[in-house]
Amino acid sequence: MLVQQRLSRADRSVRQSRSAFYRRVWTDAAAGFGLPVRHRGGDVLEIGLGADTVTVRNTVCELDPRDVLDRAGDKVLVHGLLSAEGIPVPEHRTFTIDSPDAARAFLGDAPAGCVVKPARDTAAGNGVTTGVRTVHDLVDAAAVAAAAGAKAGRSSRTGSPFARLSTKFRDLRRVPLLIEHQVPGDNYRLLYLDGVLIDAVRRAQLSATGDGHSTVAQLIERLNTRRTSGGGQNGQRPVRPDADMLRTLAEQSVTLSSVPEIGRTVALRRAINQNSPEDNWPALEDLCESIVEQGARAGAVVGARMVGVDVITTDPRVPLDVSGGCVLEVNTTPGLVAHYHGHPGAVDPAKLLLQRLFGHPVYGSAG
């Protein structure tokens, strides 16, 4: 009960921090151009006048219609669309808990390991497990991905509790899952509006540094305390042990109860969605023209005006087909918090987005 209460308080604090952060970001950006802002209740803001109005809610800009958002949410469909355009994507297969044979065979041909995730309707790393190498790993990862996929789906909320439980269990076994070859390299988030690159950041993995007396679990608790007490961009999401974290720790012969020696850096997750803003670094000047162009085409293929294109590569200065890199995902309504990292060279994406939306010339190196 005490753990649940702490998690509930942490969740409330995170929601409050996220809402306050995005309200400030959009309000400050609008004020810079003399644009009026109206609060429509909850986290909803309207920016602009008359027909020239954009509605925002935290990270969500209402720029793309529902059919575009639904299409972008289908990761398998997007992989196919990108491949048809000659844009490299990870080798992958689809499967379900009820039909795992294709995934098992695929895993056997992946010496560097695999990533398992829900095939649609999830974001922010929910249900993603990296470092999947054995059939046992696959079973565990599939269960995690199916649970996240079922939660994101639209299960019926009518009928008796037993009927709802039966429906949820049936849905769980049928949730489409995706297994991908794990591609080596750094993760880059490229933010586009109408095909124009607004910003790019290199996103480092979440890690903790040992002090010689604290366990990994205590280091994580301390990290969460700093995040929630700091608020703003730092308080966006608490770090919680999950399958990806436990697997990442195991690869380093570490557990949650291990005490890392002083100065040892322990990677906590391979999936980068829970990293801190300061773990992200400006990358606009690092990207070759080919990667920028392929990212823009990836957004155009999906049909979205505003996208965050996730690219993985060992060398951003060369084309993806040279480095063996790929486009991992195309995210509509992408989060902006990773771009507010505070390192030299940072830009303000909310201001850049409003500049383009309301006809102002784009400033800075992202232009």
Please identify, among 116, 147, 182, the residue that sits at the C-terminal boundary of a domain: 182
Residue 364 has pLDDT above 50, yes or no: no
- Count of all residues that appear for the chain in the document: 367
| Angstrom distances, CA of residue 332 to CA of 121, 189, 223, 299 | 11, 12, 29, 9
pLDDT given for residue 366 in this prediction: 40
What mean pLDDT comes out for the span 339-351? 87
> Same domain for 199 and 288?
yes
> Same domain for 170 and 298?
no
Interhelix angle 289-302/75-84, rounded to 10 degrees, is 120
> Same domain for 227 and 178?
no
What mean pLDDT comes out for the span 256-261? 93
What mean pLDDT comes out for the span 21-27? 88
Q: Which CATH number characterizes residue 157's domain?
A: 3.30.1490.20
> Same domain for 249 and 136?
no
| Angstrom distances, CA of residue 281 to CA of 79, 124, 326, 338, 340 | 27, 19, 20, 9, 10
> Same domain for 110 and 159?
yes
**Which residues, other chains included, contact 218 with Cβ-Cβ below 8 Å and sequence gap of 6+?**
none
What are the tens digits of pLDDT across the range 30-46? 998 889 999 888 889 99
**Which residues, other chains included, contact 332 with Cβ-Cβ below 8 Å and sequence gap of 6+?**
64, 68, 69, 72, 73, 302, 304, 306, 307
Q: How many distinct structural domains can be found in the chain?
A: 4
* C-alpha closest to that of 145 among 170, 169, 176, 171: 176
Please identify, among 252, 269, 286, the residue that sits at the C-terminal boundary of a domain: 269
Q: How many CB atoms neighbour CB 102 within 10 A?
A: 13
> Same domain for 177 and 188?
no
pLDDT given for residue 311 in this prediction: 96
> Same domain for 53 and 69?
no
Domain of 97 in residue numbering reads as: 91-182
**Which residues, other chains included, contact 245 with Cβ-Cβ below 8 Å and sequence gap of 6+?**
268, 269
Please identify, among 269, 285, 318, the residue that sits at the C-terminal boundary of a domain: 269
pLDDT-derived band at 1 (thresholds 50, 70, 90) equals very low
* C-alpha closest to that of 199 among 33, 27, 364, 21: 364
Q: Would the CA dihedral through 64, 329, 172, 275 be positive or negative?
A: negative
**Which residues, other chains included, contact 234 with Cβ-Cβ below 8 Å and sequence gap of 6+?**
17, 226, 227, 276, 277
What are the tens digits of pLDDT across the range 262-276? 999 998 888 777 777
The token pair at 363 is 């400033």
> Same domain for 282 and 350?
yes
What are the tens digits of pLDDT across the range 202-236? 998 888 899 999 999 999 888 888 777 765 555 55
* C-alpha closest to that of 306 among 70, 61, 125, 120: 61
**C-beta separation of 180 from 114 below 8 A:** yes
- Please name the residue that has the structure tokens 């909320």: 157
pLDDT given for residue 192 in this prediction: 94
Q: Of the given ranges (121-130, 137-146, 242-251, 305-314), which has the lowest mean pLDDT?
A: 121-130
pLDDT given for residue 361 in this prediction: 47
Q: How many CB atoms neighbour CB 355 within 10 A?
A: 21
State phi, psi for 70 to the nearest 5 degrees. Answer: -65, -40
- Please name the residue that has the structure tokens 């829970």: 274
> Same domain for 107 and 71?
no
What are the tens digits of pLDDT across the range 285-295? 999 999 999 99
pLDDT given for residue 165 in this prediction: 43
Alpha-carbon distance of 25 to 344, in angstroms, equals 19
Q: How many CB atoms neighbour CB 98 within 10 A?
A: 11
> Same domain for 199 and 308?
yes
pLDDT given for residue 65 in this prediction: 83
State phi, psi for 261 to the nearest 5 degrees. Answer: -70, 165
What mean pLDDT comes out for the span 334-343? 86
pTM for this predicted structure: 0.82
pLDDT given for residue 163 in this prediction: 45
pLDDT-derived band at 327 (thresholds 50, 70, 90) equals very high
pLDDT given for residue 362 in this prediction: 41
> Same domain for 225 and 238?
yes
What mean pLDDT comes out for the span 346-365? 73
What mean pLDDT comes out for the span 75-96? 92
Rounded mean pLDDT of the chain? 83
What are the tens digits of pLDDT across the range 101-111? 889 999 988 87
**Which residues, other chains included, contact 221 with Cβ-Cβ below 8 Å and sequence gap of 6+?**
none
What are the tens digits of pLDDT across the range 43-83? 899 998 777 788 888 877 778 888 888 888 888 899 999 99
Task: Decide which of 101 and 366 is more confident.
Answer: 101
pLDDT given for residue 274 in this prediction: 72
Residue 131 has pLDDT above 60, yes or no: yes
Alpha-carbon distance of 22 to 336, in angstroms, equals 9
pLDDT given for residue 152 in this prediction: 60
What mean pLDDT comes out for the span 315-330? 95
> Same domain for 314 and 190?
yes
